[in-house]
Amino acid sequence: MKKIIATDKAPAAIGPYSQAIEVNGTVYTSGVIPVNPQTGEIPEGTVAQAKQALTNLTNLLQAAGTGMDKVVKTTVFIKDMNDFAAINEVYASFFTADFPARSCVEVARLPKDVMLEIEAIAEK
């Protein structure tokens, strides 16, 4: 059975999609961008945006009853591959052991012109 996951501690969906879905004990998140869910503001700079996006992802997973330590796969979309090292450093502070599988791709543009977007698949 499919369960819709929603929280006000991560940016609200800005289209016809759910923040996350749980099916058979697995949580699939939509792409999470670095918008502060309380203020709607987007931090300046790649590092600050990476921290905000990963904080939002953490909050979304917690709302689903899981956590970053249960993530098995992420996909990271970045606007500029030159920011890979900076984003990777922030990413490593959120995933400290037993790293999930990951894909990272450069894209031409992201919602609200942010620098990155991240989605995850996690077990409960």
Which pLDDT score is estimated for 35? 97
What's the token pair of residue 61? 């997973």
Long-range contacts, 79-84 (Cβ 8 Å, 24+): 79/106, 79/107, 79/108, 79/109, 79/110, 79/114, 79/115, 79/116, 80/46, 80/106, 80/115, 81/106, 83/46, 83/115, 83/116
Which pLDDT score is estimated for 79? 97
Query: Using one digit for the tens of pLDDT, what is the confidence trace for 72-123?
Result: 999 999 999 999 999 999 999 999 889 999 999 999 999 999 999 999 999 9
Which pLDDT score is estimated for 97? 86
The matching CATH number, chosen from 3.30.420.40, 3.40.50.970, 3.10.20.600, 3.30.1330.40, for 2-123 is 3.30.1330.40
Higher pLDDT, 15 or 119: 119
Cα gap 78→84, rounded to integer Å: 8
Which pLDDT score is estimated for 119? 98
Query: Using one digit for the tens of pLDDT, what is the confidence trace for 35-52?
Result: 999 999 999 999 999 999
Cα gap 51→42, rounded to integer Å: 11
- Catalytic residue positions? 104
pLDDT at 4 over 90: yes
Cα gap 35→112, rounded to integer Å: 9
What's the token pair of residue 41? 């503001």
Give the pTM: 0.97
